[in-house]
Structure 1
Amino acid sequence: MEPPAPSRARAVDTDTVGCRVRALRKEREMSLSALARLAGVGKATLSGLENGTRNPTLETLYAITAQLGVPLTAVLAGPATTPTVRGAAVSATLLEVFTEAGSTYELYRMRVSPGVAQVSPAHQPGVTEHVTVFAGVLRAGPVDAPLTAGVGGHLRWASDVPHGYAAVGDEEVWASLLLRYPRR
């Protein structure tokens, strides 16, 4: 059975994301070309994202925020909404962001579609991911050493390397995803 979607969940606000990416890039005195090269995305893609004319994928947003040294939520809409970001296989809805003295945490409700694998780029050093599976079987973690968990299982890995997500079998995976970003 599929969990109900929250009433406030919505797609990413491309104008807000674009403005925040541009502001963070300029704050770091980084050119559009330099950020595009470092993040491994096309300059036209990054320009379109900054101008609010491109709808970014989860993979693209992670690649960009990793190079800017910020959590994903630094470029998403404010706390009054729960934006949903989508990648090749993953759909993740932000539930909460909280901060402790040395870290920022992002908590997501995650759905992984069967039949498609997703590879996410490396996050900045020290970032870890924690996944608890509620439905289905998930293979996730570092591309070169993936982990597998079924219902009730928990996975943890350092995500400062390329890492992936895939549903094992034909069943959709429902899970929670907690990202821990150490403060710089």
Structure 2
Amino acid sequence: MSDLPEQVGRRLSQLRDGQGMSLSELARRAGIGKGTLSELESGRRNPTLETLYALTTALGTHLTAVLSAPVEHAELSGTAVDARLIERFEDGAAVTEVFRIRIRAGQRQQSGAHTAGATEHLVVVTGTALVGPATAPLQAGPGGHVEWAADVPHVYGAPSGDVEAVLVVRYPTTEMRQATTEVRLETTAVRDPSATN
């Protein structure tokens, strides 16, 4: 898809402008160089998975927000992961993205935290994957399933041979994140033994 960089660049620029954020501010929040972001927005640079996740997280949105309709089945690559978006579903509760991925043998890819409440689910088709929280990755073999909170730094690795898998990433909507936070606060208040009536 030769026009992927141009389309992603346009969407990044639109999302950034829509939030009234400067190029410098988005680059700072995403932890990437201002020159890199400028090249991405102008379509002169191919985006990597790591960079797109950093940018979409800094913008408070999901990965597919930068993929407009003509590139919805985009193929993206990172340090260790090749991913092809196969489905995107949105309802009132969440945006769910389904990817067919390959984790390359002997490689390890670090992914920064996604937006609050995001989760990932991996079903391994072939190979053995080492994935999940960066501090305590989980292992899964063929037919195995692993899930983890993706709002913390996490990793993807293939210690012995390529891994083929299906990855589901679920981002709760802003309303759902707020409701979850309110429930957590209410639960904390109820369970606080020092609270008085």
- What's the CA shift for 1:80? 6.5
Structure 2 counterpart of 1:138, from 129, 150, 159: 129
Map of 1:116 onto structure 2: 107
Number of matched residues?
Answer: 174
Higher helix share: 2
Q: Aligned residues: percent identity?
A: 49
Please tell me whether the aligned partners of residues 11 and 84 of structure 1 are also in contact (alpha carbons under 8 angstroms): no
Q: Given the alignment, which residue of 142, 150, 157 partners 1:159? A: 150
Q: Which has the higher strand share?
A: 1
Secondary structure of 2:29's counterpart equals helix
Q: Secondary structure at the match of 2:15?
A: helix
Higher relative contact order (CA 8 A, sep 6+): 1
TM-score, structure 2 as length reference: 0.85
List runs of 5+ in structure 1 lacking aligned partners: 1-9
Q: SS of the residue aligned with 2:69?
A: coil
With normalisation by structure 1, the TM-score equals 0.91
Note the residue ranges of structure 2 that are not aligned, 5 or more in a row: 175-197
User: How far 1:113 sits from its partner (Å)?
Assistant: 0.2
Cα deviation, residue 100, structure 1: 2.1
Tell me the distance in 1 between the aligned counterparts of 2:46 and 2:136: 31
Cα distance in 2 between the residues matched to 1:142 and 1:93: 22
Point out the structure with max Rg over C-alpha.
2
Shift >4 Å, 4+ stretches: none
Q: CA RMSD in A?
A: 1.3
